[in-house]
A and B are shown apart, each in its own frame.
Chain A
């Protein structure tokens, strides 16, 4: 989440733990292992992660990520389970979880679609792609998917693009929104053949194939590349 505060989306109700502290309560201490129920797999994973580093606290990020996969978000329960295994306070983990964009401090959805709208994608009409996907998700009643605008995802060659649970797809057009949302709703792979690591993936203007270079923009007709006028 943003460190500036005030940038979070409007809350729908009293959800999440990211609320004012109850000052009548004693501060949370390291949860007792005997009183904290941790799924065996998660415990094993966190213990393995702690062993990888000279200091066990280095495992905070990957451990929170692992707990988030189990709980869907960094819920108070998830935080206290990680805290119990790592032997750190929940407040310490909360300070970490609120800093990073990919750790969710609200139950926004188990799956995610990050639509890049940063500078390079902005120049290629990314906002329209995001708006179309967002509108389509409401129209089709898509649930349990966190759809948001994201900062540069490092795939400006396939701009505008989106990351669907880590799978990079692009270049996208607003007209792709219905197909993408439909696939998410049915739990199918998003945009098959158009993922960055798909074997058939090719940028529309890649010359290595037989196809002539196509226009990257919706309005521009395909033309041969312009040689250096220098």
Chain B
């Protein structure tokens, strides 16, 4: 059953043994598209093909890839392509699979992306935790250089494309495109003020195209089979297939490639097996932990960029995290807030302070030191983060936490009452003295 619900375009030949080797990849038709782009197609033709395919960015924002590449100014200045492989969004692990199984598809995608943008240097910024995948990519890049597919005069043309695999050192914020550029320049990964946008002034102040791994992996297929062929997959403005990472309380978590437009229920129940026996879905994140949570009824919506936005959430990176009824929502909210507190770079005050205060307030709520009124304060902190920072890291906490409080307010209130009752009981039997309270990191002096 799970085979019929999947539409394998990117993952079609993933079962081929040794696919990570260049000879095997070429036997499967690999590097034909990059060769065609380098030798037979003009830059405008490449851009035109990518744009008319309707391919949208697969990293989270969902912006048209061809349009983004066409924003890169023409001219003889140094231009750059950066592949964003800093996949750190909780719940997302599609790029890991793509790079691990088929590294040459990404290398070929980088060549095509670089030629489309007129860039002569390309970088793959991969998160440091993916050291195995970075080693695999390094080997693939070496093989491509040895064959003359990278470097000066790729495929015997007069185009130069150099490709470097750059490893991060563990910071979620480096997945934000301008922070990625700072990290690549050897600095702390702080997001930049925009404008200027990276298309005009990016890496080393040069025009820079930044694309996600999955986006670039789609380009060789689009060039080979044509925009028309690619557009047959998907619905409306959500064309093509999508890698979906399903995680959390389901029977078969894993990566599945689906055609955009099948219902979320088919993904969660049909492919991932649904919740464990006797459990029910409480809520689900449709696009990574930054996406506002949706209710079980929303599972019948088609899984597309538009439909998820209509439901008040987003398709994001395509990571579905399922939460079942055995998990208290307060714990999920707290864990989520702790993640964003840890990963906030600290540059903008609303995010740095807002994430910290959200964690503290949720901890108090969990320890019986809050009243339902505190929920309004938590919610108002979220509202004051959204739209007030250089990047969307703060918003990425504020949106899901805000949605949880809106949709699960009765559960939050019940949790507060139960926690207060438990704390009162503990205090009554003397387990919890006033001295403990004063020394508690969350309730101590100077807090609240």
Contacts and interface: CB of A to CB of B under 8 A. Distances in A.
A58 B263 contact: no
B230 interface: no
B276 A217 contact: yes
Given A114-B129, A152-B339, A58 B184 contact: yes
Interface string B346-373: 1000001001100000000000000000
Given A4-B341, A118-B90, A157-B255, A230 B265 contact: yes
Contacts of A58: 166, 184-186
A17 interface: no
Nearest to A56: B186
A188 to B, nearest CB: 18
Given A122-B335, A123-B248, A229-B269, A154 B169 contact: no
A102 interface: yes
Nearest to A205: B252
B51 interface: no
Contact of A156 (B131, B253, B276): B253
Interface string B1-45: 110000000000000000000000000000000000000000000
Interface string A156-198: 1101000100111000000000000000000000000000110
Interface string A51-83: 011110111111011000000000000000000
Nearest to B272: A225
Contact of B87 (A60, A150, A154): A154
Interface stretch (A19-27, A93-101, A132-140): A93-101
A227 interface: yes
A155 interface: yes
Q: How large is the interface on B (under 10, 10 to 19, 20 to 34, 35 or more residues)?
A: 35 or more
B276 A163 contact: no
Contacts of A4: 341-342, 344, 346, 352, 355-356
B346 to A, nearest CB: 4
B444 interface: no
A152 B89 contact: yes
Given A53-B164, A226-B273, A100 B332 contact: no
Contacts of A203: 252-254
A62 B332 contact: no
Nearest to B92: A154
Given A123-B323, A157-B255, A228-B265, A7 B342 contact: yes
B131 A166 contact: yes
Interface in B61-102: 78, 87-93, 95-96, 100
Contacts of B185: 55, 57-58
Contacts of A95: 187-188
A229 B299 CA distance: 11
A19 to B, nearest CB: 20
Given A58-B186, A65-B167, A102 B172 contact: no
Contacts of B88: 151-152, 154
A157 B93 contact: yes
A62 B166 contact: yes
Contacts of A53: 164
Given A3-B346, A119-B339, A216 B245 contact: no
A60 B92 CA distance: 27
B93 A154 contact: yes
Interface of A: 2-4, 7, 52-55, 57-62, 64-65, 95-96, 99-103, 114, 117-120, 122-124, 150-157, 159, 163, 166-168, 196-197, 203, 205-207, 213, 215-217, 220-221, 223, 225-230
Interface of B: 1-2, 78, 87-93, 95-96, 100, 121, 127-132, 164, 166-172, 183-189, 204, 245, 247-249, 251-255, 263, 265-266, 269-270, 273-278, 289, 299-300, 319, 321-324, 327, 331-332, 335-336, 339, 341-346, 352, 355-356
Q: Which 3 A-B pairs have the closest CB atoms?
A: A156-B247, A60-B186, A101-B170
